[in-house]
Amino acid sequence: MKAVVLAAGLGTRFKSEKPKVLHEILGKPMLWYVVNTVRQGGIEDIAIVVGHKAEEVIEAMGEEYVYFHQENPKGGTADAVLASIEFWRNSEDYLLIINGDSPLVNPDTIRNMQRFIYMVEEYEKIRLGGVILTSILQDPTGYGRIVKEEGTDRIIRIVEEKDATPQERNIREVNGGVYMFYIPYLLEALFKISPSEKTGELYLTDVVAYMVSKGYEVRSFMASDPTEILGVNTRWELSFAENILRLKLIKFWAERGVTFHTPETIWIEPDVNLSKNVEIYPGVMLRGRTKIGEKVVIKTGVLLENTEVEESVVIEPYSYISDSLIKKGAKVGPFARVRNDTVVGENAEIGNFVEVKKSEIGKDVKAKHLAYIGDATVGEGTNVGAGVVTANYDGKEKHRTEIGRNAFIGSNALLVAPIKLGDFSYIAGGSVITKDVPEGALAIERSKMKIMEGKGRKLLEGK
């Protein structure tokens, strides 16, 4: 089966510069979810109909798909399907058509709809005109209403809200915007329907009444979960959809052994990977390709982006780690900032207000307070005191700092890169280090301290 995704509409109700289907849900465009559902539903051959701001949509979705341009973005959903006619017209199969603004459809639903069609063909020996995903909603406002032959799953027609009579508006079964139509019948129907008198749009939903008039049956397929069919027409519906997806992801991981404290405050994106016995506290954000090992504890306010965290790590509150690797047993935070391909070694401790950028921190290193470590390697077991700074930038270029193992860098030392400090080197607190320090050496750079008895009191008392 082939699939056509409709993504050409103007999205007027969104009030946006950006194409509606590119607005993000948990860090990915709404359209990504639709396409992903189609693929996971077992359909690989996918065309996307673009129109309004087509270039932006193509740029965001990439080369993997075939694109068709709908010339008139107000042409309506049937006009959009017609725009992709070359993609599907020669096939004798069914065609999946799905709205680009239906991001919550479950891949299993796509599989089950296909199965349903083949079951009907197999056991009832009927070729259907189509199957349409529907659901019964408390509040059907805005959706096309499903008019059925009573007591059956046979649809007679779909009435758009704008065209519905008051009685039809009372129908609570709605069109979910996911269709599988038998291509030869679809082709015939698309050329027979006429634009809506109210809006001038050619409605895909109108093919149903035409098919039924020709004796081709169209059946409803009820979504297992009513939230699945949510169409995102407004920003508020986007927030709503994001919330539903977020809670689904949290439930998925909770069932695999992750504890979420106050789940309503936790953000987790679809590519994140968690392990058993992970514990996540309120207000945590896990973004991109973040991967968390077993028994990791992530405390409140932490933000992790594209970061791998190995087992038994503890991330203390309000730390922000991006594009980095935190090895087994390490401890990061509170209020730490780790970024740009940093590796924090096994059992290392990166503490309060420490920033680490593009650095390799060895096993058992301790940098527990107020330091900046940038473009550096820090050998195993080295201690980095409070306020240590690697001066890695000379105003033009970045330079590296290499610190050996078991070194001691006293508080407030300034290491002017490029520089090398040997194993077991000892840097006295407050020193400005501008020359390499050999293995085992002590380096101290301070002016001699003076004590002048009584001078302090004199100054203070103005004498």
Per annotation, catalytic residue among 69, 261, 369, 399: 369
What x/- string results for residues 49 through 68 when contact with ligand UD1 is judged by CB under 6 A?
x-------------------
333 — alpha (psi -120 to 50), left (phi > 0) or beta?
left
List 73, 103, 329, 410, residue binding ligand UD1 (CB under 6 A): 73
DSSP 27-40: TEEHHHHHHHHHHH
List of residues 6+ apart from 272 with CB closer than 8 A? 249, 286, 287, 288, 289, 290, 291, 292
Residue number of the CB closest to ligand UD1 reads 144
Shortest Cβ 178–Ca ion spacing (Å): 12
Q: Quick check: helix, strand or coil at residue 166? A: helix
Q: Taking the complex as a whole, how short is the minimal distance between the CB of residue 203 and Ca ion, in angstroms? A: 12
Note whether 406 binds Ca ion by CB under 5 A: no
Q: What are the Cα distances from residue 86, in Å, to 4, 89, 93, 196, 315?
A: 11, 6, 14, 25, 54
The region of 99-107, 343-351, 382-390, 445-453 touching Ca ion under the rule CB under 5 A is 99-107
Smallest CA-to-CA distance from 185 within 219, 158, 215, 157 is with: 215
Residue of the chain from 113, 131, 204, 427 that contacts ligand UD1 (CB under 6 A): 204
Helix extents (H) in 259-310: none
d(CA 119, CA 131): 12
Query: Does residue 80 touch ligand UD1 according to CB under 6 A?
Result: yes
Q: What's the min distance (Å) between Cβ of 34 and ligand UD1?
A: 8
Q: Which amino acid is at 125?
A: K
205 binds, among ligand UD1, Ca ion, none (CB under 5 to 8 A by kind): ligand UD1
Q: Is 233 in the site for ligand UD1 (CB under 6 A)?
A: yes
- Of these, 3, 4, 6, 25, which contacts ligand UD1 (CB under 6 A)? 6
Q: Which of 21, 75, 83, 101 binds Ca ion (CB under 5 A)?
A: 101
* 179 part of the interface to ligand UD1, by CB under 6 A: no
Say if residues 43 and 34 touch (Cβ distance below 8 Å): no
If you search the block for the tokens 């309506």, which residue do you land on? 76
Question: Which stretches of 272-324 are assigned E, i.e. beta strand?
Answer: 278-280, 285-287, 291-292, 297-298, 303-305, 308-309, 314-315, 320-322
Residue 43 CA from chain centroid, whole number: 22
231 touches Ca ion (CB under 5 A):
yes
- Bridge-partner residues for 67, per DSSP? 48
155 binds ligand UD1 per the rule CB under 6 A: no
CA angle 38, 40, 44 (to 5 degrees): 60
Q: Which 132-151 residues touch ligand UD1, going by CB under 6 A?
A: 143-144
Segment interacting with Ca ion (CB under 5 A) among 90-98, 113-121, 231-239, 420-428 = 231-239
Q: Which amino acid is at 60?
A: A
* Interface mask toward ligand UD1 for 353-392; x: CB under 6 A: ----------------------------------------
Minimal distance in Å, beta carbon 13 to ligand UD1? 8
Region binding ligand UD1 by CB under 6 A among candidate stretches 170-178, 290-298, 300-308, 424-432: 170-178
Residue 285 CB neighbour total at 10 angstroms: 19
Can residue 177 be called a binding residue for ligand UD1 (CB under 6 A)? Answer: yes
Task: Verify whether residue 369 is a known catalytic residue.
Answer: yes
Among 233, 234, 243, 411, binds Ca ion (CB under 5 A): 233
Say whether residue 75 binds Ca ion (CB under 5 A): no
Q: Taking the CB of residue 315, how many other CB atoms lie within 10 A of it?
A: 31
Active-site amino acid positions:
369
Q: Which residues bind ligand UD1 (CB under 6 A)?
A: 6-9, 21, 49, 70, 73, 75-77, 79-80, 99-102, 143-144, 158, 160, 174-177, 203-205, 231, 233
Q: Which residues bind Ca ion (CB under 5 A)?
A: 101, 231, 233
